[in-house]
Structure 1
């Protein structure tokens, strides 16, 4: 595996495991030291996301949240990282609804540049569904960060939200197959 690919893989793994790492270290390690993990994520994101400028902001968000965690030795800014990611993704997906093509349409055109009108409408609807997901996910992540135990926060942001995201991916794929069949019949 090439070095840039390894860095990208490490970056994705750190992001996926971030809530579980924060939870397991809570009470054992000072938040100031945990902020170093967020800085590592930021550095990896900023170094490995040269292709996609839309994802570079994740590194900037991580740095912005790590700063108060370092300064005040506080855990809350570290727990707000998943909220910031959801808010950022909502902004990117939402922006694409007002400035077409939508994000999902852009992804679909990578494999099929000549999308029929029904597919364009469908990709717009899927982008709207993802916006709803990011809004709800960010709200729940915020609520768990503010008012729940670290274990509940970690369970939601590190397990449940990923499971729901996977169900959304899988469900959308099944709906897409159905929609294609309906329009090709």
Structure 2
């Protein structure tokens, strides 16, 4: 049952922008915020141990949803992508200070015998991820403040995921090719 709850909450949270768009357009009154709060609470409670670092953005999302409901300010729900990007920036940026870099940690999951020569490259890729989180966070803020809900949904529910997927996929392909040739 726990695995099912985890899978459902992951899918729904990935669809957060679409859920907000549909909820703000089609749900009555201030019903969306408590539904999202319930979803985020469920995700927080079913979080896998190895993903505890992601508890912080989920917790802040929960606070946003509760605050939105209490203050009756539904537009506060638009700031969750900003929170996610800030938390991910903190996670990746913090790994640059404390080491090993986040990308090195992630790469070592599938390739435990990383050569020492790969470490500077993986550190640079972590910097690239930090840049992406700054850009995505800035765009999430801009779309929340100055654009329509449809534009906010397009950027945060599609374009941001596309950019993340492109960086992750192209970096993995390059690293896989580069590491096998070293």
TM-score strictly above 0.5:
yes
Which residue in the other structure is 1:48 paired with?
46
Which residue in the other structure is 2:70 paired with?
71
Q: Is the 8 A contact 1:32 1:71 kept in 2?
A: no
Q: Is the 8 A contact 1:86 1:134 kept in 2?
A: yes
Q: Secondary structure in 2 aligned to 1:80? A: helix
Which runs of structure 2 are paired with 1:77-116 in the superposition (5 Å)? 77-116=76-115
Which residue in the other structure is 1:172 paired with?
171
Q: Is the 8 A contact 2:43 2:58 kept in 1?
A: yes
Q: CA deviation at 1:53?
A: 1.9
Aligned structure 1 segments of 4 or more residues deviating by more than 6 angstroms: none
Q: Secondary structure in 2 aligned to 1:117? A: coil
Q: Secondary structure in 2 aligned to 1:26? A: helix
Q: CA deviation at 1:179?
A: 2.0
How far apart, in 2, do the equivalents of 1:164 and 1:50 lie?
26
Which residue in the other structure is 1:119 paired with?
118
Q: Pairwise CA RMSD of aligned residues? A: 1.6
Gaps of 5+ in 1: none
Q: CA deviation at 1:73?
A: 1.4
How far apart, in 2, do the equivalents of 1:114 and 1:176 lie?
13
How far apart, in 2, do the equivalents of 1:168 and 1:122 lie?
15
Q: Is the 8 A contact 1:31 1:69 kept in 2?
A: no
| Count of equivalent residues | 181
How far apart, in 2, do the equivalents of 1:85 and 1:138 lie?
8
Which residue in the other structure is 2:159 paired with?
160
Which residue in the other structure is 1:21 paired with?
19
Q: CA deviation at 1:178?
A: 3.7
Greater alpha carbon shift after TM alignment, 127-136 vs 29-38 = 29-38
How far apart, in 2, do the equivalents of 1:46 and 1:25 lie?
21
Question: 1:39-76 CA distances to partner (integer Å, 9 max, x unpaired)?
Answer: 12321221111412201113211121012211121122
Q: Is the 8 A contact 2:34 2:66 kept in 1?
A: no
